[in-house]
Amino acid sequence: MIDLNNHFENKPISILTEQINLTSLDLDSKSTTEIVNLFSEADKEPQIAVNQAIPEIVKAIDEITLKLKSEGRLFYIGSGTSGRLGVLDASECPPTFCSAPEMVQGIIAGGVPSLTKSSESLEDITELAIANLQEKKFSKNDVLIGITASGRTPYVASALNYAQHINALTICISAVPSNDSNISSDIDIRLLTGPEIIAGSTRLKAGTATKMALNIISTSVMIKLGKVYGNRMIDLAVTNNKLFDRAVGILFDIGSVDKNKAVQLLKLTNGSVKLSLLIALSNLDVIQAKKLLEQSQGNLRTALSNIRSQSSQY
């Protein structure tokens, strides 16, 4: 239990995420239409905030890609809404890009129970963050993205300090300016969405901006790792009828094969769209195609370029 007498010290709340939104002062007396219009206008601000943070986001993507290409891993860490957003983004990578579950992981204070049950008190326990990272065998080869809307969460600050101490790459995502937060990280992404419609409820604009940034970061990294060709997901896992139809459609559109041939290729490659495409676009058999993909670090465009390069030499 917080000691209320000693905690506040008669100081006014000045941190950006806790300030009062002047456009929603009489929110409880507005009509449903007026409330929705307020939210609609406010939700334009996350896009602006992300746009203003593009240089830092680009740097994060490039640095993370280098780490993952060197067998490193990406971790998100946070508490409450911030932690849930990290876990959500990490959990979407394997089904979307067929990435190994270990490649991108989300850590939330309190673990799995905190995904559905409030455990905000844990955000003040600094030792817990270090223990959570050590349980994952977090090392200097990995990347840690600390997510904290307020820029002050002790759990996240402790995790980032530990990661910096062992020389891992650290990235902080917050929704406050630098004068509101002194958390140290290698890359500092500030998504300044301003006061929330309901004061302090950072699951709103700050949460939206954070989800947008995480979408951009993880998707861009996967693109750079060769899991996308053009704008198609070629490393998808064919685990249901919808994804089977999508895989066949990709082979039809890019590989120029009919449905029967697409099905044959998917059977031959155990459902690998990328390997099937390489076979369809070349004269290679499955063994040759696998070898070439390995030599090309799993990048289909690189593999095709290598084939063209070899052909031009003869």
Give the residue from 140, 136, 133, 208 showing the smallest Cα distance to 170: 140
Q: What is the rounded CA–CA span in Å between residue 123 and residue 119?
A: 8
Catalytic residue among 9, 92, 120, 127, which?
Answer: 92
Q: Is 127 a residue of the active site?
A: no
The two tokens of residue 39 are 């939210």
Name the phi and psi angles at 170, rounded to 5.
-120, 140
Q: Is 123 a residue of the active site?
A: yes
Catalytic residue among 123, 127, 135, 294, which?
Answer: 123
The full DSSP string for the chain is: ---HHHHSTTPPP--GGGS--GGGTTGGGS-HHHHHHHHHHHTTHHHHHHHHTHHHHHHHHHHHHHHHHTT--EEEEESHHHHHHHHHHHHHHHHHH---TTTEEEEETT-GGGGTS--GGGGG-HHHHHHHHHHTT--TTSEEEEE-TTS--HHHHHHHHHHHHTT-EEEEEESS-GGG-----SEEEE----S-SSTT-TTTHHHHHHHHHHHHHHHHHHHHTT-EETTEETT----SHHHHHHHHHHHHHHH---HHHHHHHHHHTTT-HHHHHHHHTSS--HHHHHHHHHHTTT-HHHHHHHHHHHHHT-
Q: What is the rounded CA–CA span in Å between residue 299 and residue 314?
A: 24
β-strand pairing of 187-190 with 74-78: unpaired
Q: What residues are annotated to the active site? A: 92, 123
